[in-house]
Structure 1
Amino acid sequence: MNQNFWSRVLPFTVFMAFVGIEELMRHLHGQQLILLDTKILYPLYALKIFSVAAILIFYRKFYSEIDIRQWLQIKTSALSILIGLLIFALWIHLDWSLLSQGESAGFDPQTISEEANRYAFIACRLAGAVVVVPIMEELFWRSFLLRYLIKSQFTTVAIGTFSWFSFLVASVLFGLEHHYIVAGIVAGALFNLLLYQTRSIAQCILAHAVANLALGLYVLQTGQWRFW
């Protein structure tokens, strides 16, 4: 596999590996096979975000499809922001419990007694959700997978090329990545549609960042930690 492949797949793989480790620790704790101090999950999250960010920085020269100058296109960026807010609204207002992966424990920073550490974690959580995750996921789902499902030599496929197969498979897999599966499928479909409309990974990153920022602020305001 070449650098174009690994630069988009490795950040996502590392991210999901950390998610798998966290879920395994929670499962073993629930089965009383290990005694887990949940506070260890906070530095684990920080390590996950810094690791993924480091990989993205290392491969940054391979991400020519990310052109943030496209954010200066006011009408297009306004559409991206609206899509992000729509996804946020769907995520919190609709009942997706029929197809969810159990009850989400989420991250509750109020369990961190030291004020400085609590605010540091909140800052890390927001930075991860608003900066690192949108870049990492849009590179994997919209830049890599949507094109790879059309042709294995994905860099020869133009950004925003549509096929029903890639659209449906990527939308469903995006949903399966998330705790609330149906909400994730809807979000994945909307991000895909935004890409087809704008042919811009940068605009998808913007929409994703807006959705995650709105959700983060909502969680901090309401204490609905299951969304985190």
Structure 2
Amino acid sequence: MQSHRRKLIAHVLPMVLFLTLLALCQLVTAHGHAFVLRHAEFWVYPAQTILCGALLLCFREYYAFRGLKNVGFTILIAFAVFVLWIAPQQFLNFAPRTIGFDPEILGNNPALYWFTISFRFFRLVIVVPVMEEIFWRSFLLRFVIDEHFERVSFGKFTWPSFAIVALAFTFSHSRADWLAAFVAGALYNVVAYRSRSLASCVLAHAVTNLLLGFWIMQTQQWGFW
């Protein structure tokens, strides 16, 4: 029982902390007047990165990443999700999403600007993919099958778990991203089923986010952060 509880905490707590800090950021930004409050993302996001990253390191013994498998297929899925995510603005002439985490505010201080960008990419490409795939694919995809999720082999398929995780993944994103997020959640599930490797799921998510990060910097569509 103790082992189950520790594994449950290890898989869920980083995500809970991440979402709590995100909600705090949105609350402070909506009601704050001073610069440091109106742009709370400049200190909340680094806090998310450090605290959630520390939890992941602390609990690392409870995560079974296994080796990378089906790498070519995994990269293909990552590219497909990226293209789908940017398609409305890039190909369908939807309005650009320019409101969001804008590092250009710090343009007069190059050192702080690049430090902020580096932290943002570390969060986007390392912490978020690891944390989310541990929660969505390693925990929830199995928890829906059996509350003692550690008894369920990674990548086991059932329609209820597939649908619930895809939908939950969708609603964890902003409304503008719901369609892309649903397909992304479904495709990352497919990576889990095909590879049976948490590491491959993390790779797919990380490559998608890396491509998205570069595209955001190029187009300055900060709303995609």
Partner of 1:59: 59
Q: Does 1:92 align with 2:86?
A: yes
**What residue number does 2:199 align with?**
202
CA shift, 1:104, in A, is 7.7
Output the CA distance in 2 between the equivalents of 1:45 and 1:27.
16
Checking the alignment, whether the CA contact within 8 Å between 1:130 and 1:210 is kept in structure 2 is: yes
Indicate which of 164, 168, 184 corresponds to 1:169: 164
In structure 2, what is the equivalent of residue 126 of structure 1? 121
2:142 aligned with 1:147, yes or no? yes
2:22 aligned with 1:19: yes
Segments of structure 2 that go 5 or more residues without pairing to the other structure are 90-96
Structure 1 residue 189 displacement after superposition = 0.5
Rounded Cα–Cα distance in structure 2 between residues aligned with 1:53 and 1:140: 14
Aligned with 2:40: secondary structure? helix
Q: Which amino acid aligns with 1:35?
A: H
Which residue identity is paired with 2:53?
A: A
Could you tell me how far apart the structure 2 residues matched to 1:158 and 1:82 are? Answer: 24
| 2:93 match | none
Structure 1 stretches of 4+ moved >4 Å: none
Aligned residues: 210
Given that residues 28 and 40 in structure 2 are in contact (C-alpha distance below 8 angstroms), is that contact kept between their aligned partners in structure 1? no
2:74, 2:203 within 8 Å by CA — same for their partners in 1? Answer: yes
Q: Is the 8 A contact 2:99 2:221 kept in 1?
A: no
Between the aligned partners of 1:227 and 1:5, the Cα distance in structure 2 is 31
What is the TM-score when the length of structure 1 is the normalising length?
0.88
AA at the equivalent of 2:65 = I
What is the CA distance between 1:105 and its match in structure 2? 3.3
Q: Which residue of 1 aligns with 2:187?
A: 190
- The answer to whether the aligner puts 1:8 opposite 2:11 as a matched pair is yes
